[in-house]
Amino acid sequence: MAERVRVREIDDDEGRRLLRIIRRGTGSVVTWRRTQMILLSAQGLPVAKIVEVTFTSADRVRDVIHNFNADGFDSLYPKYKGGRPKTFTLPERREIAKSRPAEHGLPFSTWSLAKLADFLVAEGVVDDISHEGLRVLLREEGVSFQRLKTWKTSRDSDYAAKKARVEHLYAIADGEVIPEEGEPEVVFCMDEFGPLNLMPHPGRQWAERGGRHRDPKREPRPRRRATYTRPHGVRHLFAALDLAKDKLYGHIKPIKRRTQFLEFCRYLRTLYPPEVRIAIVCDNFSPHLTTKKCQRVGTWATTNNVEIAYTPTNSSWLNRIEAQFTALRYFTLDGTDHASHKEQGSMIRRYIIWRNHHADGRRLRALVDRANVA
């Protein structure tokens, strides 16, 4: 009679970690399949049923469960390596990844693969390297060819404390930390997006080929219209991301002042029972603050069991809602030219509905992960 194999008892933290691997697709396909087997076994399924669900062999399932019971999460990640050994040592790989033209007196602002490969050979860092091999090495060292962006250093005197508090709230939302008594159980990231103008936005789309390859019988491809006046005013999107549910909420308002901010906060408060403490992460925009002249924000938060957590000055990148705005701009606004705010607002609302139904979409997730700094 075959031995009855079951996974050891899993605590709450380990269960949340296993669920994150399944939900987010962390690691390789092998890791994902092994995690699936462990979760099925933890739910009480025998090996025979797990075999039917995962389309594998019984010996394979037993090996995965035995290894997890012995080695824990380390057993979920494959350790096999194939192919010939790597040609370059770790110091050589780092030298390749960190090299800059200006450091060597060369009149280039940046490297091309050809220039960098020739330079590394000439300097004796490597004996020989192909352009594709160099591309692979740079990718493995986390280096990619990208545009430079501006960065403003925060001079907030409470930078460390504010940053630590925001990161602690994120750890609670991600299930990495169990909230203590009196701490928020639900975390929202909130900010305004805009101003939303009625103007043609740059973007890409499918169009007929131009130049000498163009079909002479077809009309010229469309261009963006020029706007000299914009008499229709602007709108502002108040948006919040529920980190636990990975759900986006948004309201469009004609102005963004303290009254509108509190209206949106009251809406977020209604999403959970009053006894559930929530936290709202936002930046230091003046309508978000409690001042000597106006203490409405602080009074409302204290009365309604809410914590307002502020990011440090010039550190809005800590707010995870910013990455969602990148996706909103990419999927919905780029390449558009709306005739009215009603049309534009309708498209944004329909995007939010679509986004909440496709939060685990591969393309959406890749775009958000690339833009997310926090």
Average pLDDT over all residues of the chain: 85
State residue 84's pLDDT score: 62
- Report the share of the chain in percent with pLDDT over 70: 93
For 360, what's the count of Cα atoms within 13 Å in the CB-facing half-sphere? 8
- Report the share of the chain in percent with pLDDT over 90: 34
Q: How far, in Å, CA of 105 to CA of 185, rounded?
A: 55
Sign of the four-CA dihedral 340, 342, 346, 352: positive
Digit-coded pLDDT (tens) for 352-368: 999 999 988 888 888 88
Selected residue with higher pLDDT from 188 and 2: 188
Q: How far, in Å, CA of 263 to CA of 48, rounded?
A: 55
Mean pLDDT calculated for residue range 98-124? 81
Query: Within 10 A of 289 (CB to CB), how many other CB atoms are there?
Result: 17
pLDDT above 60: residue 3:
no
Best mean pLDDT range from 49-53, 218-222, 351-355: 351-355
pLDDT above 50: residue 1:
no
pLDDT above 90: residue 320:
yes
Digit-coded pLDDT (tens) for 132-145: 888 888 888 888 78
Kindly give the interhelix angle for 29-42 and 58-71, rounded to the nearest 10 degrees: 90
Give the full edge-to-edge strand order of the sheet including 186-196: 247-253, 235-242, 186-196, 278-282, 306-310
Candidate from 6-15, 39-48, 74-83, 198-207 with smallest mean pLDDT = 74-83
